Amino acid sequence: MSNNKAESLFAFGLGIGTQNKHGQWLEVYFPRPLLRPVDLEVSAFIEAFGYRGGQQSIRLNADQLHALAKVGPEYAAFAATDRPVVAVFLADDVEPTDVPDAYLKLHLLSHRMVRPGTINMAGIFKVLPNVAWTNQGPVDVAELAELQLKCRTQGTPLSVSMIDKFPKMTDYVVPSGVRIADASRVRLGAYLGSGTTVMHEGFINFNAGVEGPNMVEGRVSSSVWVAAGTDLGGGSSTMGVLSGGNNIPISLGKNCLLGANAGLGIPLGDDCTIEAGLYLTAASKVRILNRDGQITRTMKALELAGRSGLLFRRNSQDGAIECLPNKKSIELNADLHSHN
């Protein structure tokens, strides 16, 4: 790579992070990640930081931090901090190889720079360590007991909110125009479009998201994409690709309704409804009804993947799953999803 060609990079970020006692990264915060940067400043960083090409995470030394302050006022915070600062250069969209470049990609998603499923996140679980997320910051799990004892002897409160590889999104990114009732249920790497409301029981995983406006009272699993105007009812679930053998990314089109405690294991198009309590998997046998309510055939639900205008329900007599044309499209409450 030519040292003056920042535009050939896939992504770049300057981050402030946390390391354990062995100098291993636990997490990194990127206040201004860049996708396919063309900034002249980034071109200068390529030379100043010794970037050699490919994927490279460079912890900045004292001289490099001092030079940052001269670039512009937006870099003053990096130059003044006593925390570890890292510059991450990604030449291509390949799977993450270390904690800083994994966190840069998670930030790209939550900053709405890329949509879920459009960048390479393979292998991220091997890269990210389990971290104790506390009121005193991220802590290496192996170092937690020592900190707990220290805090007890000093009378300092220490609260551990979770042990996980992924932090809360809102500790790093707060997208505009959203409402989140319980921030612990939205992971960094989630994509929340403007107008999104996530209620207390709603959950959005990393590399998953909603276009906005949406009502989310159910679970949006990793790899799932939900289009605008769709409502996920309380306790509902969308099947991800991380476990269970499912390898088909699930999506819901515009103006759909996934009823309370319902589930979805196939992608669907626009204007679809799944009644409350019905879990539709790829192998579910579905009776196809015409507009007159007559059974025309029976097929596996997977054969209906991607289609629009469908209503799925259970027959009240024998419990069979039925599919018929959806005569009613849902409409979200505009006032409820205006968060500007």
Tens of pLDDT along 107-163? Answer: 999 999 999 999 999 999 999 999 999 999 999 999 999 999 999 999 999 999 999
Looking at the chain, the whole-number percentage of residues with pLDDT higher than 70 is 93
**Going by C-beta distance under 8 Å and a sequence separation of 6 or more, which residues neighbour residue 240?**
205, 208, 221, 222, 223, 224, 246, 250
Confirm if 291 and 325 have CB atoms less than 8 A apart: yes
Residues facing residue 211 across a β-bridge: none
Is 217 considered catalytic here?
Answer: yes
Query: What is d(CA 264, CA 284) in angstroms, rounded to the nearest whole number?
Result: 11
Split at pLDDT 50, 70, 90, the class of 39 is confident
Q: How far is CA 164 from the centre of its chain?
A: 15
Query: What is d(CA 54, CA 33) in angstroms, rounded to the nearest whole number?
Result: 17
In order of start, what are the domains of the chain with their CATH numbers?
6-127 (3.30.70.2010), 133-164 (no CATH), 169-337 (2.160.10.10)
Q: Which residue has the higher pLDDT, 336 or 212?
A: 212
The pLDDT of residue 51: 93
Helices (H) and strands (E) in the chain, counts: 6, 27
The pLDDT of residue 309: 96
pLDDT beyond 90 at 26: yes
The pLDDT of residue 324: 95
Q: What is the DSSP letter of 50?
A: T
Tens of pLDDT along 55-97?
999 999 999 998 887 787 888 889 899 999 999 999 999 999 9
Q: Average model confidence (pLDDT) for the chain?
A: 93
Q: What is the DSSP letter of 129?
A: P
The pLDDT of residue 244: 55
The pLDDT of residue 68: 85
pLDDT beyond 70 at 22: yes
Q: What is the DSSP letter of 168?
A: B
pLDDT beyond 50 at 3: no
pLDDT beyond 50 at 175: yes
Confirm if 262 and 247 have CB atoms less than 8 A apart: no
Helix (H, G, I), strand (E, B) or coil at 14: strand
Rounded (10°) angle between helices 62-71 and 40-48: 160
Q: Give the number of other Cβ atoms within 10 Å of residue 131's Cβ.
A: 23
Q: Is 150 exposed, middle or buried (0-12, 13-18, 19+ CB in 10 A)?
A: exposed
CA-only gyration radius of the chain, Å: 23
Which residue in this structure is represented by tokens 């970037």?
51
Confirm if 33 and 104 have CB atoms less than 8 A apart: yes
pLDDT beyond 60 at 5: no
Residues facing residue 252 across a β-bridge: 226
Query: Catalytic residue among 41, 217, 275, 322, which?
Result: 217
Which residue in this structure is represented by tokens 């024998």?
318
Which residue in this structure is represented by tokens 């809102």?
170
pLDDT beyond 80 at 340: no
Confirm if 26 and 17 have CB atoms less than 8 A apart: yes
